[in-house]
Structure 1
C-alpha cells in the first residue's frame, strides 16, 4: 500500500523549515505546504470525495498547484490536471471522460471551467471563492495519507490530441513514485540544496515528475514561472540561484537570444535538462558555451510517467542522443512488420517497465493498440548505436515520403539550425502531385539577422541529398507552440507546393 503524496509527507518531516515552492515574493515551507494540502484533503473528503474518485484541477504554475495536487492524492482521490487555457468545450470533454465530479479552478480559468462543470454535472470550486476558503478554514489537517494500492491510478494525464480525441493516460502510484525516484536519484542527482526552475507547465508530465515531484522527493526548492518568458526566466534563475534548469528546445533557443552576460548571473546553474522534442545539437553546444552548464537530453511521454531514457550524468554523453533507458525501463526498436529492427536500421520505439501506464482510461481499443505483450508502442522512430544510445529520427506520423524516399524532418531541422541566421525551424511535408509529398521548411530568423528563403534553401541543398532539401522555405515571425513550448507542426500552414521539380 502506498500513496504518491508520501513524497511530501516525508520531506515535510525531514525538511520542515526549508522552502518547498516559491513564486516571486510568495514562498511556502515544507511544513506549510504539507499542512495546506492536508487541510484540502480533509475538505475534499467532507465534500464527498472517496478513494478512487477523480478530481480535476486547472491552474497555472502557482504555489496552489502542489497544494491541490498533493491534497487530492492524500485524500485518496485521482488527480486530473487540465491545461488552464482550455475552453469550456474542451474541459467538458475531460470532465466527462474522466468522470470527475469536482474541479478546482484558478481564477484565471474559473469561468470556462464553471461552464464545463455545469454541462457535465460536476462541481466547480474557484480557488478565490468564499466557498473554497470557508472549506479550508473549517477543515482539520488530515493525518497522514489515505493508503492506495501500487497499481491504483494516481493521475490521469490527457494527451494533447495531436492524433485525434484526447486520451487519458492512467499513471499509477507505483509508476510515478519509481519514475520520480529514478529521476531525482540517478539523473538529476538532486539534494535539498538544489533549486529547480519551474517553468514547465506542472499539468504536463515533464513538469510534474521531473520538476515538482523530484524536487519534493528530496526536499529541494521549486521556483515557479507561470508563463515562460526568456528575460523573466533569466531573472528568476539569477534571483533564486537556480541550479537545475528543465525545459524544451524552444526555451533553450529563447534563453540564448535573451542572455546578457552583464545582467544575468546564472553561475549557480550546474545542470540543464532538455526533453519534449529533439534539441538541435548546435543549440546544445551554444547553450553550454554561453551559460556554462552541462546539458543532458532525455526522452519520454505522458504514457511513460514520463522518463524512458536519458544521458546519464555518471556515464559518457552523446550530443543529439536521447541516451539509454533509465533504471527500471527497457527499450527496443520494432520494424513495421512487428519484428525487431535490423542493427543500424530505423524502427519504432517500444518501452517496457515500471514507468509504463496501465492504459488509457475507459478506452480499451486505444489501450490494446498501444500496449502489446507488455510493451508500449510510442509512435516515435529512432535508431540505436553500438553503445546502446538511442537517437530520435522523428515521429512516425511526421515522416515525409518524397518520391519513394524517406525524409526525416529532424535531420533537415538540424541542418537549418546550423545556419547562423536561424533561430527556430520546423520541417513538414505538403502534398505534391509528382513526388507525393514535398519537403517544406518554416523558419524564424534570429533578432537582427537577415536571410532570404532562397539563401536558406541553398544552404540546406549543399548539405543533404537532393531528395531531402526543402523546395519550399517560408520565413515567419513565430512558430505555433503548445503549452510546454513544443512546436506544433499540425498548426503550421505553408503555401502550396510549387510546380513539380525533378531535381
Structure 2
C-alpha cells in the first residue's frame, strides 16, 4: 500500500528544518508543510471527505498549493487541479464532471471557485480566511497518509479540450510515484542542495511531477512564481540561487526578449529543462549561449504523468530531439493501421509503461479510442534516428495538407525562428478552394525590428520546398497562449486576402 503524499512525510522526518517551498516572503519548511497538510487532511475528513472522493484544488502557485495538494492526498482523496484563471462556468464543468465533493481554494481565486462550488452543490474551503485558519489550528494532524493501492487514482488532470470538452485523465499513485522518482533521480538528478524554479503552473502535470513532487522527493527547495513574468523570473532566480530552471518554450523566448545581456543568469544555474511543446532549435542555442547552461528537452502529456522521453543528462544531447524513452516507459511509432512504421519514417507516437494513465474519468469510449493493443496513442507525429532518439514532427491534428502534400508546421516555424526579426511564430492551415489548405504564418516581430510579409516569404522560400512556404503572412503583437504558456493554435484566426 502506498500514497504519493508519503514523499512529504518522509522528507519532513529527514529535513524538517530545511526550506521546502517559498513564494516571495512566504516560506515553509518541510516540518511546517508536513504539519499544515496533515491538519488539512483532518479538516477534510471531519467535513465528510472520504477516501476516493474527488476534491477540486483551485489555487495559483503560492505556498498554500502544496499544503492543499498533499493534504487532499493524505486524506485518501483524489486531487482535481483546476486552473485558477478559469471563470465559474468553466470551473463548474470540471466540478460536475469529476463529481467533486469539495473545493479548496485561496483568496485570489475564491470568487469564481466558490460560485462554481455553489452552482454544483460542492462544499468549499477558502485557505487564508479567518474561518479556515481557526479550523486548521483546531484540527489534530493525521499521522502519515491514508493507505492507497498503486492502482488507486491520485489525481484527475483535465486536458485542455482542443478536440471538444475537456476530459479528465486519471493518474494513479503508482503512475505519479514512478514518474516522479524517475524525473528526480535520472533526469533532473535533483539533490537536497538544489533550488528548482516553480514558474510552471502546479495545476499542470509538468509542474506537479517535475517541480513540486521531484523537489519533495529530493528534499530540495522550490521557489514559486504565481504568474510568469520574465524579469521577475530572473530576479527570483538570482535571489534564491536557482539551480534548475523548468519551462515551456514561450518562457525561454520571453527570457531572451528581456534585453538583459546574458539574461542576468544566476551563477548557480546548472540545468534548464524544456517541455510542453517543441522548443525551436534557434531559441535553444541562443539561450544556452546567453545563459551558459545546457537545455535538455523532454516530451510528455497529461495522460503520461507526464514524462515519456527525455535527453539523458549522462549522454550527448541532440538539439531538437525529445530524447529517449525514460525508465519504465516504452515508445513506438505507429502507422494509421496500428502497425510500426519503417525506420526513418514518420509515425504517431504510442506509449506504454508505468506512467500511462488508467483512462479518462467516466469516458469509456474516449479511453478505448486512445488505447489500442495496450498502447496509448498520443496524436503526435515523430520520427526516430538510428540511435533511437525521437524527433517531433508535429501534432497529428496540426498537419497541413496543401495540394496533396504534407506540410508540418513545426518545420516552417523552425525556419521562421532563424529570421532575426522574428520573436515568436505560429504556422497554421487555412482553408483554400484550390489547394484544400494554404500555409499561413502569424508572427510577433522582435521589438524595434522592421520586416515585411514579402521578406518573410522570401526568407522561408529559400529554405524549404516550394509548396511549403507560407503564402499568407500576418503580424501581431502577441499570440494566444494557454495557462502553461503553450501557443494555442486553435485560437488563431487568419482572415483577409494574401499580402
SS at match of 1:355: coil
Give, in angstroms, the shift of residue 261 of structure 1.
3.5
Give, in angstroms, the shift of residue 134 of structure 1.
2.3
Listed as ranges, the matches of 1:451-470 within 5 Å are 451-470=451-470
Give, in whole Å, the separation in 2 of the partners of 1:23 and 1:364: 40
Q: Could you give the per-residue CA deviations for residues 78-116 of structure 1, whole angstroms, max 9, x where no partner exists?
A: 000000011111111111111111001121221111221
Residue correspondences, number: 499
Q: Could you give the per-residue CA deviations for residues 238-289 of structure 1, whole angstroms, max 9, x where no partner exists?
A: 1000000000001001111115238824111100000000000000000000
Determine if contact 2:42/2:75 at 8 Å carries over to the other structure.
yes
Q: In the alignment, what sits opposite 2:412?
A: 412
Task: Specify whether residues 273 and 48 from structure 1 end up closer, same or farther in structure 2 by C-alpha distance, changes over 3 A only.
Answer: same
**Residues 1:266 and 2:266 aligned together:** yes
Give, in whole Å, the separation in 1 of the partners of 2:379 and 2:254: 28
Q: In the alignment, what sits opposite 1:428?
A: 428
SS at match of 1:258: coil
Q: In the alignment, what sits opposite 1:24?
A: 24
Determine if contact 2:263/2:290 at 8 Å carries over to the other structure.
no
Determine if contact 1:346/1:382 at 8 Å carries over to the other structure.
yes
Give, in whole Å, the separation in 1 of the partners of 2:114 and 2:268: 43
Give, in whole Å, the separation in 2 of the partners of 1:192 and 1:247: 21
SS at match of 1:429: strand
Q: In the alignment, what sits opposite 1:399?
A: 399
Q: In the alignment, what sits opposite 2:52?
A: 52
TM-score (normalised: structure 1): 0.98
Give, in whole Å, the separation in 1 of the partners of 2:497 and 2:191: 53
Structure 1 gap segments, 5+ residues each: none
Structure 2 gap segments, 5+ residues each: none
Determine if contact 1:430/1:497 at 8 Å carries over to the other structure.
no
Give, in angstroms, the shift of residue 472 of structure 1.
0.5
Give, in whole Å, the separation in 2 of the partners of 1:322 and 1:310: 6
TM-score (normalised: structure 2): 0.99
**Residues 1:64 and 2:64 aligned together:** yes
Give, in whole Å, the separation in 1 of the partners of 2:185 and 2:144: 25
More moved, 209-218 vs 366-375: 366-375
More moved, 7-16 vs 347-356: 7-16
Q: In the alignment, what sits opposite 1:142?
A: 142
Task: Specify whether residues 262 and 206 from structure 1 end up closer, same or farther in structure 2 by C-alpha distance, changes over 3 A only.
Answer: closer
Give, in whole Å, the separation in 1 of the partners of 2:253 and 2:263: 18
Determine if contact 1:234/1:259 at 8 Å carries over to the other structure.
no
More moved, 40-49 vs 121-130: 121-130
Give, in whole Å, the separation in 2 of the partners of 1:326 and 1:35: 34
Q: In the alignment, what sits opposite 1:387?
A: 387
Determine if contact 2:85/2:109 at 8 Å carries over to the other structure.
yes
Give, in whole Å, the separation in 1 of the partners of 2:375 and 2:179: 17
Task: Specify whether residues 179 and 491 from structure 1 end up closer, same or farther in structure 2 by C-alpha distance, changes over 3 A only.
Answer: same
Q: In the alignment, what sits opposite 1:315?
A: 315
Give, in whole Å, the separation in 2 of the partners of 1:328 and 1:214: 17
Root mean square deviation, CA, Å? 1.1
SS at match of 2:278: coil
Q: In the alignment, what sits opposite 1:353?
A: 353
Give, in whole Å, the separation in 2 of the partners of 1:49 and 1:12: 25
